[in-house]
Amino acid sequence: MKDELNQARELMVSEQITRRGVTSPRVLEAMRSVPRDRFVPEDSQAYAYDDYPLPIGQGQTISQPYIVALMTQLLQLEGNEVVLEIGTGSGYQAAVLASIAKTVHSVELLPELSERAARILGELGYLNIHLHAGDGSQGWPKTAPYQGILVTAAAPKPPQALLDQLAEGGRLVIPVGDRGNQELQVWEKVKGDFSHEDIIPVAFVPLRGKEGWHEGQW
């Protein structure tokens, strides 16, 4: 089974990720090295490297592998960065980021998911990931600023708290929009000003919290 999963992971990188234009050697190596099958429920492990998101409980999902790779590449990490992830979920995206960045802080609204991710990441030996339970739409100001911020849930607009916690030259990758219309955006801070670029249409679960979607809005 282990050999089959390793083969599936290699195929995932070559067939789903490289062919769609993800070229960063750091990102490709991270996608090859992180065992996505460890982050999905046991009854979904046979599908861990397939080309779609999977449910992980609590109404949340683990993102499609290509989207994980693309969002990571858009941060343009070089290895010395402190990165903030909003929406720990399964912990898989945090593990991919931690394979490249110096330190990853990840905030999850649902304590059950944060606890499960902590157990898996601990078993896999990731020492540079710090998990926090709280309102991710407010970021994590205690360890700001961040050279990269990645949000794994859709917001109505980029939360000001996240923009405020972005370092000079840093990049924020975030899906923006409502249930039926989201765009993956990259925001960059240059000399105190922000510019952004739309990348591709996407479909994410809603970002909950003070600067996210509120109950009944989504």
Are 159 and 136 in contact, with CB atoms under 8 Å apart?
no
CATH number, residue 100: 3.40.50.150
Question: Does the structure show a pLDDT above 70 at 168?
Answer: yes
* Structural domain range at position 23: 2-202
Looking at the domain assignment, is residue 140 inside a domain? yes
Q: In 38-151, where do the E strands start and end?
A: 54-57, 60-62, 82-86, 103-108, 129-133, 146-151
* Strand arrangement, sheet containing 103-108: 129-133, 103-108, 82-86, 146-151, 166-178, 181-190, 193-202
Looking at the domain assignment, is residue 11 inside a domain? yes
- The whole-number pLDDT of residue 180 equals 82
Question: Does the structure show a pLDDT above 90 at 217?
Answer: no
What percent of the chain clears pLDDT 90, i.e. is strictly above it? Answer: 93
Question: Does the structure show a pLDDT above 70 at 10?
Answer: yes
DSSP assignment of 21-57 equals T---HHHHHHHHHS-GGGGS-GGGGGGTTSSS-EEEE
Mean pLDDT of 12-17: 96
Whether pTM exceeds 0.75: yes
Give residue 155's identity as a one-letter amino acid code. Answer: A
Mean pLDDT of 17-32: 97
Question: Does the structure show a pLDDT above 90 at 172?
Answer: yes
Looking at the domain assignment, is residue 207 inside a domain? no
Looking at the domain assignment, is residue 215 inside a domain? no
Looking at the domain assignment, is residue 213 inside a domain? no
Question: Does the structure show a pLDDT above 90 at 195?
Answer: yes
Total domains, the chain: 1
- The whole-number pLDDT of residue 63 equals 95
* Residues annotated as part of the active site: 63
Q: Which is nearest to 162 in space by CA: 129, 128, 185, 181?
A: 185
- The whole-number pLDDT of residue 1 equals 67
Rounded distance between C-alpha atoms, residue 89 and residue 187, angstroms: 23
